[in-house]
Structure 1
Amino acid sequence: MKSNVVTAKYAKALFDVTYANGKSGEVATQLLELAKAFNNTSTVTFFDNPFNAHADKLAVLNNTLENKAYPEVINFMMLLVDKNRMGLIAEMAKEYSTLVQSAAGITKGKIFSATLLNEAFVSQVEATVSKTLNRKIELAFEKDETLIAEYKVQVGGWTLDDSVKTHLKTLKEELMKRGL
C-alpha cells in the first residue's frame, strides 16, 4: 500500500474518534508537535531500530506522553509503534490537520508572488476567493520570482492567475494568432 493511502486511513480513523469527542482541534496541535519531535534523527533512529525492544519503545512513548497528551493521541502513537508506522507521523499529522480544517469549513490554498505581499492584501484576496468558492479559504504565501509582478492563487484544482507572466503569455498568443 502506498504511504499516502496509509496515512489517509490512519488520519481518518483518528479523526473519526476525536471529532465525535470534540477534541479534533487540540489533537491536531498535539500531532503536529509530535511530528516536529520526529524530525529529530535520534528519535527516528530509536523507533526505527529493530534491535530496540518493542516494549521499550512503548514504555518510552508512554513515559514521554503521559499526562501531556490526550489518551487518543497516546493510543494512536502506540498503534503506530505496533504497526511500525512511526516514520509516517509527519504525513499523518498533516493529513489529520487537513481533515480538521475541512470539517471546520476551511480550505487551504497558496498565493504566489515575486515579492512579499502585505497581510491586508492577502486578507482581501482570501475574502474574494472565499466568496467565489463559497467556503472559508486560508492562503499561505509562497515566493515565485518567475511571476514578474502581481500574483497567482491556487486552491485545490482552482487557479486564479493575475500575474504579468500570464498576461504577457496571453498577449503573445493573441499576437501569434493574428500573425503579428
Structure 2
Amino acid sequence: MSADAVIEKYSQSLFEAVSEGGKADNISKELEAIAKIFSEEAIATFFASPFNSADNKVMVAKAALEGKCSPETFNFIVMLVQNERMGVLTQINENFQASVRSMSGETEGILYMATEPSAEFKQQVEKRLSEALKKTVRLNTQKDPSLLSGFKVTVGGWTLDDSAQFHLNKLKEDISKRGM
C-alpha cells in the first residue's frame, strides 16, 4: 500500500469514527497538538528508530498521553505506534484537519504576496473568496518575492492570479492576437 493510501486510510477512519459523535472539533485540536509534539526531531527519531522495540515505543506513547487526551485520540495514537505509522502522523493530521474543515463548510488556502499583507487586505480577500465559493475561506500567507505587485491565491484545486506579471502576460497575449 502506498504512503498516500495509508495516510488517507488512517485519517478517513479517524474522521468517520469521531464525526458521528460530534467529537471531531475536540479530536482535531488534540491531534494537531500531538502531531506538533511528535514531529519534534528527538521524538520523531525515537519512534522511527529500529533500535527501540515496538513495546518500548508503545509504553512511551502511553506514558506521554494517558489521561491527557480523549480516549479516541489516545487509542488512535497508540494504534499508529503499534503499526509503525508515526512517521506519517503529520500527513494524517493534515488530511484529518482538511476533512474537519470541509465538514464545517470551511476551506483553507494560501495568499502569495511579495510582502506581508495587512490584516485588513487578507480579511477582504477571504471575504470575497468566501462569497464566491460559498464556504468560509481561511488564508495562510506566504511571501513570494517573484511577485512584483499584486497577489496569487490558491484554494483547493484552483488558483486566482492577480499579479502584475499575469496582467502583463495577458496584455502581451492580447496585443499579439491583434497583430500589433
Q: Aligning the two structures, in what range does the TM-score lie when normalised by the shorter sequence?
A: over 0.9
Per the alignment, in what secondary structure is the counterpart of residue 93 of structure 1? Answer: helix
Kindly report which structure 2 residues correspond to 1:54-65, keeping only aligned pairs within 5 A, or say none.
54-65=54-65
Q: Is contact 1:115-1:149 (8 Å) kept?
A: no
Asked if 1:148 is matched to 2:148, the reply is: yes
Deviation at 1:114, TM superposition (A): 1.2
Q: CA RMSD in A?
A: 1.4
Whole-angstrom CA distance in 2 between matches of 1:127 and 1:160: 14
Instruction: Give SS of 2:146's match.
Output: helix
Letter in 1 for 2:18: T
Q: How does 1:59-78 map to 2 (within 5 A)?
A: 59-78=59-78
Q: Deviations over 1:82-109 (max 9, x none)?
A: 2111111111111111111111100111
Q: Which residue of 2 aligns with 1:98?
A: 98
Distance 2:164 2:41 in 1: 43
How many angstroms does 1:161 deviate by? 1.5
Structure 1: stretches of 5+ with no match in the other structure? none
**What are the ranges of 5 or more consecutive residues in structure 2 without an aligned counterpart?**
none
CA distance in 2, matches of 1:139, 1:36: 20
2:81 and 2:89 mapped to 1: Cα distance? 10
The residue number in structure 2 matching 1:79 is: 79
- For residue 43 of structure 1, what is the aligned residue in structure 2? 43
| 1:45 partner letter | T
Structure 2 counterpart SS, 1:69: coil
2:8 maps to amino acid: A
Inter-partner Cα distance in structure 1 for 2:108 and 2:15: 18
TM-score, with length taken from structure 2: 0.93
Verify: 1:130 aligned to 2:101, yes or no.
no
With over 3 angstroms needed to count, the CA separation of the structure-2 counterparts of 1:45 and 1:161, relative to structure 1, is closer
**Which stretch shifts more, 155-164 or 105-114?**
155-164
**One-letter amino acid matched to 1:118:** S
- Shift, 1:9, TM fit: 1.1
Q: Is the 8 A contact 1:146 1:165 kept in 2?
A: no
User: Percent same amino acid among aligned pairs?
Assistant: 38
Letter in 1 for 2:2: K
Q: 47-56 or 154-163, which moves further after superposition? A: 47-56
Matched, 1:107 2:107: yes
Name the counterpart of 2:161. Answer: 161
Structure 1 runs (4+) deviating above 4 angstroms are none
CA shift digits 1:131-165 (9 cap, x unpaired) = 11111111111111222111122111222221111
